[in-house]
Amino acid sequence: MNTKRLVLLALFVAVSYIGANLKIMGTIAFDSMPGFLGALLLGPVEGAFIGAAGHFFTALLSGFPLSLPVHLLIMADMAAAMAVFGLIYRHISARQGNAYTARLLAMMAGTAVNGPLALLLLAPWLLPAMGRSGMLALLPVLTGAALLNIVLAFLLYRILSKHLQHR
Contacts of 141 (CB under 8 A, 6+ apart): 24, 25, 28
Contacts of 143 (CB under 8 A, 6+ apart): 111, 114, 115, 116
Q: What is the pLDDT of residue 92?
A: 92
Q: What is the pLDDT of residues 137-166, one digit of tens each?
A: 999 999 999 999 999 999 999 998 887 765
How would you classify the pairing of strands 23-25 and 28-29?
A: antiparallel
| Burial class of residue 15, CB neighbours in 10 A (0-12, 13-18, 19+) | buried
Q: What is the pLDDT of residues 107-143, one digit of tens each?
A: 999 999 999 999 999 999 989 988 999 999 999 999 9
Q: What is the pLDDT of residue 122?
A: 92
Structural domains in the chain, sorted by start? 3-165 (1.10.1760.20)
Q: What is the pLDDT of residue 28?
A: 87
Q: Residue 2 gets which letter from DSSP? A: -
